[in-house]
Chain A
Amino acid sequence: MNNASNKKTITFISRQAPYGRNNSRLCLDMALASAVFEQQVNYVFLDDGVLQLVKDQNAESINSKTIGNALETLGLYGINDVCVDKKSLSRRNLQPTDLIIDVKMVDRSAIGELIRQSDCVFNL
């Protein structure tokens, strides 16, 4: 972390459900900005964060933008290392097929390893 290389590995851990609070959107915005500025980005959905990925969201009914549809753009921004915590998913009765985008299923030790390898972690 002390070497001033211009390319850092930044891990974003998105832990909150969509809509109730705004953290999911803030987290996505930060990650997209990191990608625009050519950083190495990991994106992790953990705890309630996995609920952002549920299919069939339509937030028009609450005058909001649909976060699931925005998450589909991660790939276009070159963010391909997108992980979901298996345990968080199964605790919420969700299967990989319930999710809006293709993601890597990982366990907690893999998330710990991502944190360890990162120069900086944003966790919200």
Chain B
Amino acid sequence: MKFSIVVYAAPYSSEAAATAFNFTKTLLDQGHELYRLFFFGDGVHNANRLAVVAQDEVNLQQRWDQLITTHRLDAVVCVSSAIRRGLLDSQESERYELDAISVYGSSEIAGLGQLIDAVINSDRVVNFG
């Protein structure tokens, strides 16, 4: 079955970010297809590459990055949610004349069109917030 997952929750603020991760990992382990992972609203923090977590705690952002990289997932961070929360890739960083890159390279910053495309092309869209 072809899934898309939408995440609205930030890691460490809400369990929903971790639930989304566990759900996504499970569906991939079961051999289902993930059409797209979409980080929206506070959910964009899941793609932050500048977070530091105590050694005895789970670094959820890093786990997402590994999952996305290992499975070559299509992960999208909503641009309007991202830039106002300081999550930038090289392109947005240049566009707004800032000097940092704070999003993992495994995710792409793009618009809501990518979410609508996911709705059109997936069998199931599951939201976590």
Contact = CB atoms under 8 A, between A and B. Distances in A.
Query: Direct A–B touching in the complex (beta carbon < 8 Å)?
Result: yes
A120 B119 contact: yes
A39 B112 contact: no
Interface stretch (A26-34, A52-60, A73-81): A26-34
A123 B127 contact: yes
Contacts, number: 45
B113 A33 contact: yes
Contacts of A39: 116, 119-120
B112 A30 contact: yes
A117 interface: no
B111 A33 contact: yes
Interface stretch (A1-9, A82-90, A93-101, A104-112): A1-9
A33 B116 contact: yes
Contacts of B129: 124
A22 B119 contact: no
Contacts of B127: 122-124
A22 B123 CA distance: 28
A10 B4 CA distance: 15
B125 interface: yes
15 contacts: A1-B124, A4-B121, A6-B120, A8-B119, A10-B116, A23-B41, A29-B112, A30-B40, A33-B112, A33-B115, A34-B119, A36-B113, A37-B113, A37-B116, A119-B119
What are the nearest 6 A-B pairs in CB distance? A33-B112, A37-B116, A120-B119, A26-B41, A120-B125, A34-B116
Interface of B: 6, 8, 40-41, 80-81, 111-113, 115-117, 119-121, 123-125, 127, 129
